[in-house]
């Protein structure tokens, strides 16, 4: 468990802030609150990256560009799915491993029950402090502290009664959990929500061999030093099968070329070893 606020949550928030600061004609995502969760030094870096020169240089460093584009594409995929679900009658937003996700604020007017955000206690404490200081739109968020590797989600969610017509976001988290924690979370979630509730989540799929595998190993060891090691990877068929065993039917899955096509047209390339999906409680 990270000692303070999650570094990976800060990193993905940084990518969203950079994307939001890009010219309207080229950006694929607008998260106006992302920069409010960053330190003054990181906000200055966002502005530098968003300048014409910064964008040119940033886009040339392929691993950073791939990662940036992946973080933006999955967030946009989930935003689009949430918009559709709200139009279709979903009313309860649940965000697992929420970090600095601002959807509880961005979509507040469409939600008639408090959004539930679950994460490590220290990350939530820092988020609550920053929310109090920022000019975010009013929202109704219930923060529930949890460690998915140790705690029973069923116990934590039991305090909320049956969660009906839920839209659950599990973004950028599965790769930090082992298979036991993923399976337990999926089963506990399924027990806590009604049939038809939706879950969107993304997965890391291990690169086969060679340089990519070495680079991924190095990235994973760096994350371990921050207290947030990668613990799992799944091929799409493996994730589908695991979800099905836990009561979740996949209804949409986008691999890297499909994410690129939907979100960026053909203009940008994203990290090749990942995918995002939407599934329904059956
Ligand atoms: C890459 S960040 C993603 C944050 C957020 N979902 C987003 O996309 O902006 C990973 C998040 O998962 C949380 N997380 C990872 N492992 C966890 C665990 N075992 N229990 C609770 N939260 C965890 C981290 O604290 C962090 O907020």
User: Any idea where the domains of the chain sit in the sequence?
Assistant: 72-281
Q: Is the CB of 143 under 6 A from ligand 1?
A: no
Q: Is the CB of 100 under 6 A from ligand 1?
A: yes
pLDDT for residue 1: 60
**How many CB atoms neighbour CB 39 within 10 A?**
11
pLDDT for residue 2: 57
pLDDT for residue 56: 79
Q: Is the CB of 156 under 6 A from ligand 1?
A: no
Q: Is the CB of 70 under 6 A from ligand 1?
A: no
| pLDDT single digits (tens) 88-119 | 999 899 999 999 999 999 999 999 889 999 99
Q: Which residues of the chain have pLDDT under 70?
A: 1-4, 208
Give the atom of ligand 1 at the shortest distance from the alpha carbon of 75.
8
| pTM recorded for the entire structure | 0.94
Contact residues for 47 (Cβ-Cβ < 8 A; gap 6+)? 21
Q: Is the CB of 176 under 6 A from ligand 1?
A: yes
Contact residues for 85 (Cβ-Cβ < 8 A; gap 6+)? 167, 198
**How many CB atoms neighbour CB 273 within 10 A?**
19
As a whole number of angstroms, the distance between CA 13 and CA 31 comes to: 9
Beta-sheet pairing, 248-254 with 274-281: antiparallel
Task: State whether CATH 3.40.50.150 applies to domain 72-281.
Answer: yes
pLDDT for residue 208: 67
Element at 250 (helix H, strand E): strand 248-254
Tokens of 11: 């990193």
pLDDT for residue 91: 86
pLDDT for residue 161: 82
Q: Which of 5, 75, 102, 119, when mutated, tests ligand 1's pocket best, judged by the most ligand atoms within 8 Å of its CB? A: 119
Q: Is the CB of 126 under 6 A from ligand 1?
A: no
pLDDT for residue 51: 85
pLDDT for residue 247: 98
Q: Is the CB of 124 under 6 A from ligand 1?
A: no
Q: Which of 2, 7, 79, 176, when mutated, tests ligand 1's pocket best, judged by the most ligand atoms within 8 Å of its CB? A: 176
Tokens of 204: 């890391």
């Amino acid at each position: 468990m990270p000692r303070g606020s999650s570094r990976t949550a800060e990193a993905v928030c940084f990518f969203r802030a950079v994307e939001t600061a890009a010219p309207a004609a080229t950006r694929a995502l607008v998260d106006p609150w992302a920069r409010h969760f960053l330190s003054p030094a990181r906000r200055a870096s966002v502005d530098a990256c968003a300048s014409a020169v910064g964008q040119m240089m940033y886009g040339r460093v392929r691993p950073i560009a791939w990662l940036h584009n992946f973080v933006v594409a999955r967030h946009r995929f989930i935003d689009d799915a949430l918009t559709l679900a709200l139009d279709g009658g979903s009313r309860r937003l649940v965000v697992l491993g929420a970090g600095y996700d601002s959807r509880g604020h961005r979509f507040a007017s469409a939600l008639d029950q408090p959004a539930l955000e679950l994460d490590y206690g220290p990350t939530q404490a820092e988020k609550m402090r920053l929310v109090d200081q920022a000019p975010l739109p009013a929202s109704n968020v219930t923060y529930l502290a949890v460690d998915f590797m140790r705690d029973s989600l069923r116990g934590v969610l039991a305090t909320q009664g049956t969660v009906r017509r839920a839209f659950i976001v599990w973004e950028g988290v599965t790769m930090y959990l082992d298979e036991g924690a993923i399976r337990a979370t999926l089963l506990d979630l399924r027990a806590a929500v009604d049939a038809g509730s939706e879950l969107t989540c993304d997965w890391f799929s291990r690169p086969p061999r060679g340089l990519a595998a070495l680079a991924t190993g190095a990235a994973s060891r760096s994350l371990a030093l921050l207290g947030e090691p990668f613990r799992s990877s799944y091929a799409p068929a493996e994730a589908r099968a695991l979800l099905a065993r836990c009561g979740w039917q996949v209804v949409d899955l986008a691999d890297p070329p499909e994410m690129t096509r939907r979100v960026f047209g053909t203009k940008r390339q994203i990290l090749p070893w990942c995918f995002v999906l939407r599934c329904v409680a059956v």
